[in-house]
Structure 1
Amino acid sequence: MKNSEAFVKEITDGNTCKGEYITLGAAMLEGQTMTNTFVNVPLKTMNRHGLIAGATGTGKTKTLQVLAENLSEKGVPVLLMDIKGDLSGLAKPSPGHAKIDERHQQIGLPFNPQAFPVEMLTLSEQDGVRLRATISEFGPVLISRILDVTETQAGIISVIFKYCDDNHLPLLDLKDFKKILQYATNEGKEEFQKAYGRISTASTGAILRKIIEIEQQGGDLFFGEKSFDTEDLLRVDDQGRGYINILRLTDIQDKPKLFSTFMLSLLAEIYSTFPEQGDSGRPELIMFIDEAHLIFNEASDALLDQIESIVKLIRSKGVGLYFVTQNPTDVPEEVLGQLGLKVQHALRAFTAKDRKAIKLTAQNYPDTEYYDTADVLTSLGIGEALVSALDEKGKPTPLAATLLRAPMSRMDVLTDSELSGLIAESKLARKYNETIDRESAYEMLNKKIKQAEAEEAKQKAQEEKEALKRAATKKTSRRQSTRMNPLVKVLTSATVIRSVLGILSKMIK
């Protein structure tokens, strides 16, 4: 075998860790597993983000499962975006299998089946802990970026938020936001124009259409109270294991706008609330985003810029982001360049485009004399991957084809009854699943409009009453004036009338 001793020494020296670490598996050379030649990832570098990529059916989800288990075991909480719905088995131990035992014997690691503390979360009508956020928590800048509005429309949104702040109107959900936009160009038009300048009905109409787009994708379920506290993602159980929070997204694949909105709000909330940590000995939270192309393919340029900025900055909060996708090219280069750990499963070269993508992918990994990286990428088996990580000093470790360890938990989903029992026992479900619809901008503006209409009707009735009173007074005054006039009295007296008739009679004769 070519340079096997030198290879083992390079891998062993490059993967020696003084602190805590996660063992992914054993290195491979020319298709042979080098037993006890472990590929390790230092725990302290896990906040440097990462990528798990590969064609369908090559084992990406199981790699994600292995990382989540080992992080939990080290006391690090995890958040998983479960779009395919196949991660709930983390809550139950693996039943074991002869092939798993054989694999672990090759690696040189014992296999210890176990369950992990799991919390099921949801954005939609699926069962689980309900995740919500209010419009106010997003703020005008984030809302503008999510809606992908023009500069003028973003200015109007800022004015709307300012008006609500000035008038103590809570902006909680989408109906609040729609109501204040309608109010600004209808009943409250004069009030807004006097305080903030004229607001175009065309602009508010365009913003309303953007809001309806999010509403149709389930945004009405996401925006509202009770807001989810990101601190609840950091829980550990009584054994010191970090909770694995699984966000159920099986019905979100056709709602990319809602998914992007949630992701951006979550990252922004974490960045604004988590304390600065720097490079500590262990991460605070690790997030795995399965089917990551759903974020990047459907996001606007403004949204992408925001995501890229947060990816660069959130590391200092002790938070690591791991993108799971079929091809590394699904992830923007600005984000890809920030990823420290790369686990690359097999790629398939069916077309000329596929072969070109494989060559580009191979260039993302450190050069090595032991592999033709592009060739290895097409020959890896299920549960095998090329791995490149960062050592404790932040330098890339030697590239290693790796036989990955098997998950300790069940590699299958929970049954309906198991899932229902898990959610029924959840403390977070009892905390967040009560729907709260307190008085907010929608109700307050409706009340204000009704009061204004009532006052207007009252004033109109008063004016009509006064007008009738003035008319009646004028008529009475005219009659009184006529009775009091002496000339009229003389001219209408019987003596004058008889005299005039007498004169007329003589003239006729």
Structure 2
Amino acid sequence: MADEGVIFVGGGGEGYGLPQTLLLKYGNRHGLIAGATGTGKTVTLQVLAEGFSAAGVPVFLSDVKGDLSGLGASGSAAHKLHAPFMERAAKIGLDLQYRAFPVTFWDMFGEQGHPVRATVAEMGPLLLSRLLELTEPQEGVLNVAFRLADEEGLPLLDMKDLQALLVFIGENAEAISTRYGLVATASIGAIQRRLLVLENEGGAKLFGEPALDLADLMLVDGAGMGRINILAADRLMQSPRLYATFLLWLLSELFETLPEVGDPDKPKLVFFFDEAHLLFADAPKALVAKVEQVARLIRSKGVGVYFITQNPADVPENILGQLGNRVQHALRAFTAKDQKDLRMAAETYRPNPRFATEEAIREVGTGEAVTSFLENKGIPGMVERTLVRPPFSQLGPIDPALRAQLVVQSPVKGKYDTPVDRESAYEKLRARAEQAAREADAEQGRASAPQGGGSGPWGGSEDDGLTRARRYDGGRSGGGGAETERPSRSGTARSSTGRSDSIGTAFAKSFARQLGTKTGQAVVRGILGSLFRSR
């Protein structure tokens, strides 16, 4: 699998070329696995993951169809494809010895693996705007929210923190607009509605603590094999924008966190981005440009990124040009556009005088490919027709009982199972509201409180406290976070003047005094907007 710094990918037989290997020292020069549905991309991904793991390189990949869980189990002679596998192994000169690989299962929903989370602050305004499909003015308001949270020491950890902050901004829009530019209440409402949609889709499970520790993705087992991190993505793919944004965030965090390593003998981590077309579909040019920048620079951090998609045309040209290691399975050319894409794909390879690349891409069968890997000095290898080697691990998904057993045996077992809800923006804003209520009480005295009402948990009458609680609950109790009039216990509407005005005035004054102060921390945001360092 890994012999003297190479990964054996496949070989030849009659009509095929020399054995094809991927040099580990160029494993961080990124790669592409492309081809039509059913041509063998998933098996190729499995083969490469096995090779990197055997070489001691940790791997992260997403399991879109559930097939890749088989990496955690050994292949078997009882499998229906054993005979064809043995025949191919003999043809390409491979000693086929079945074995399992060390795996760690992750699942955003916590059902098929360890929960995986990020904080809202780590996600950053750029990626969050992409996730919520915000317009440019709405994205501007979200940037104001993040800037305000950074400057005022309001940690944004989970969904309710962001929802509460948006309510706070709406209540103090005039003061905030004076400093940061116009903050339209309509934009705030639109963002809140998009957050509600995301919450209904289960996206709220992504945000919170304990957040993912990147070191847990870069583990090796006792035998020195790199652990293969498998993200369950079959359910996640029902929200493709959430899927793509999460993987982009993870890529960004790796870029911002890992140190420069220059040209290592082998990558520190290899990242497989399956269904890569989702990353670029309808993405704004600014985001694509930043992804291109990350792809260009992250290799110096020792991270190799491999895109898996049906057609190379799904990947922007500037990024495609950085993918040095390529496995191209068959492409179908039924339409004029298909034929054009096929020609363009063929033109990106260093030609081989023995065959026409375009014809080879059209003709290779399932499990076959045309390949090109970087050679010494980083020169693209001549394109070759290749029989991809059979996997050593199980082809297809493992049974749920074995999966549960592997989760229990994981080195991160118990670390992420229980959510943590520490003090953050939601609690701090609620405390400010309570303090404002106390200041109003001190100014007016208890005698000015409405008759018949007790003391509410927010320092006002019970009705007033409930109303403010609904505001800072981010709309989770209904109403989308907007203030609503509630009837008093006597059945009449609560007055919009009087004591409630004094609380609001005190709150606004308190905020005005704090606005512009710094918490002493210098907040730095990276290329894709994630927070990666503070002092």
Matching residue of 1:253:
237
The answer as to whether partners of 1:256 and 1:298 remain within 8 angstroms in 2 is no
The answer as to whether partners of 1:80 and 1:287 remain within 8 angstroms in 2 is yes
C-alpha displacement of 1:213:
4.1
Alpha-carbon distance between aligned partners in 2 of 1:56 and 1:152, rounded to the nearest angstrom: 39
The answer as to whether partners of 1:54 and 1:346 remain within 8 angstroms in 2 is yes
Query: TM-score normalised to the size of structure 1?
Result: 0.82
The answer as to whether partners of 2:130 and 2:245 remain within 8 angstroms in 1 is no
Structure 2 gap ranges (5+): 450-535
The answer as to whether partners of 2:247 and 2:273 remain within 8 angstroms in 1 is no
Are positions 1:352 and 2:336 aligned together?
Answer: yes
C-alpha displacement of 1:196:
5.4
Equivalent of 2:428 in 421, 430, 444: 444
The answer as to whether partners of 1:130 and 1:429 remain within 8 angstroms in 2 is no
Matching residue of 2:56:
75
C-alpha displacement of 1:452:
2.4
The AA in structure 2 aligned to 1:411 is L
Deviations 1:113-147 (A, max 9, x none): 11000000112243211111111223445544554
Matching residue of 1:184:
169
Change (3 A) 1:19 1:421: closer
Alpha-carbon distance between aligned partners in 1 of 2:64 and 2:285, rounded to the nearest angstrom: 24
The answer as to whether partners of 2:33 and 2:41 remain within 8 angstroms in 1 is yes
The AA in structure 2 aligned to 1:43 is L
**Helix, strand or coil at the partner of 2:106:** strand
Equivalent of 1:333 in 313, 317, 327: 317
Matching residue of 1:218:
202
| Stretch deviating more after TM superposition (345-354 or 46-55) | 345-354
Are positions 1:417 and 2:398 aligned together?
Answer: no
Q: Where do residues 30-69 of structure 1 align in structure 2 (5 Å cutoff)?
A: 32-33=15-16, 37-69=18-50
The answer as to whether partners of 1:145 and 1:302 remain within 8 angstroms in 2 is no
Equivalent of 2:144 in 145, 159, 163: 159
Q: Where do residues 88-127 of structure 1 align in structure 2 (5 Å cutoff)?
A: 88-96=69-77, 97-127=82-112
Matching residue of 1:304:
288
C-alpha displacement of 1:449:
1.9
Alpha-carbon distance between aligned partners in 2 of 1:140 and 1:59, rounded to the nearest angstrom: 37
**Helix, strand or coil at the partner of 1:360:** helix
Alpha-carbon distance between aligned partners in 2 of 1:94 and 1:298, rounded to the nearest angstrom: 40
Alpha-carbon distance between aligned partners in 1 of 2:223 and 2:448, rounded to the nearest angstrom: 78
| Stretch deviating more after TM superposition (445-454 or 65-74) | 445-454
Matching residue of 2:525:
none
Deviations 1:375-434 (A, max 9, x none): 111221111100011112100111110011100000021101111111122231311121
Change (3 A) 1:196 1:100: closer
Are positions 1:279 and 2:260 aligned together?
Answer: no
Percentage of pairs with the same residue: 45
C-alpha displacement of 1:19:
5.3
Equivalent of 2:276 in 282, 292, 301: 292
Equivalent of 2:193 in 193, 205, 209: 209
The answer as to whether partners of 2:8 and 2:21 remain within 8 angstroms in 1 is yes
**Helix, strand or coil at the partner of 1:302:** helix
Are positions 1:380 and 2:350 aligned together?
Answer: no
C-alpha displacement of 1:337:
1.0
Matching residue of 1:434:
418
Change (3 A) 1:230 1:22: same
| Stretch deviating more after TM superposition (143-152 or 93-102) | 143-152
Alpha-carbon distance between aligned partners in 2 of 1:342 and 1:91, rounded to the nearest angstrom: 25
C-alpha displacement of 1:52:
0.6
Alpha-carbon distance between aligned partners in 2 of 1:102 and 1:445, rounded to the nearest angstrom: 67
Change (3 A) 1:416 1:464: closer
The answer as to whether partners of 2:54 and 2:226 remain within 8 angstroms in 1 is yes
C-alpha displacement of 1:211:
3.1
Matching residue of 2:500:
none
Deviations 1:56-92 (A, max 9, x none): 1111111111110011000011001111111001011
The AA in structure 2 aligned to 1:71 is F
Deviations 1:125-177 (A, max 9, x none): 43211111111223445544554545554444343334333433221112111
Query: TM-score normalised to the size of structure 2?
Result: 0.78
C-alpha displacement of 1:262:
0.8
**Helix, strand or coil at the partner of 1:253:** helix
The answer as to whether partners of 1:386 and 1:400 remain within 8 angstroms in 2 is yes
C-alpha displacement of 1:254:
2.3
Q: Which has the higher helix share?
A: 1
Matching residue of 1:21:
6
The AA in structure 1 aligned to 2:259 is P
The answer as to whether partners of 2:12 and 2:91 remain within 8 angstroms in 1 is no
Change (3 A) 1:216 1:73: same
The answer as to whether partners of 2:69 and 2:230 remain within 8 angstroms in 1 is yes
C-alpha displacement of 1:286:
0.5
Equivalent of 1:242 in 201, 210, 226: 226
Q: Figure out how many residues of one structure are paired with residues of the other and give that number.
A: 444
Deviations 1:13-69 (A, max 9, x none): xxxx995111111135xx5356xx311111111111111111111111111111100
Are positions 1:263 and 2:247 aligned together?
Answer: yes
Alpha-carbon distance between aligned partners in 2 of 1:464 and 1:270, rounded to the nearest angstrom: 57
**Helix, strand or coil at the partner of 2:376:** coil
Alpha-carbon distance between aligned partners in 1 of 2:363 and 2:140, rounded to the nearest angstrom: 54
The answer as to whether partners of 1:128 and 1:429 remain within 8 angstroms in 2 is no
Change (3 A) 1:24 1:193: closer
Equivalent of 2:437 in 453, 472, 475: 453
**Helix, strand or coil at the partner of 2:66:** coil
Structure 1 gap ranges (5+): 1-16, 466-509
The AA in structure 2 aligned to 1:39 is Q
Equivalent of 1:199 in 171, 183, 189: 183
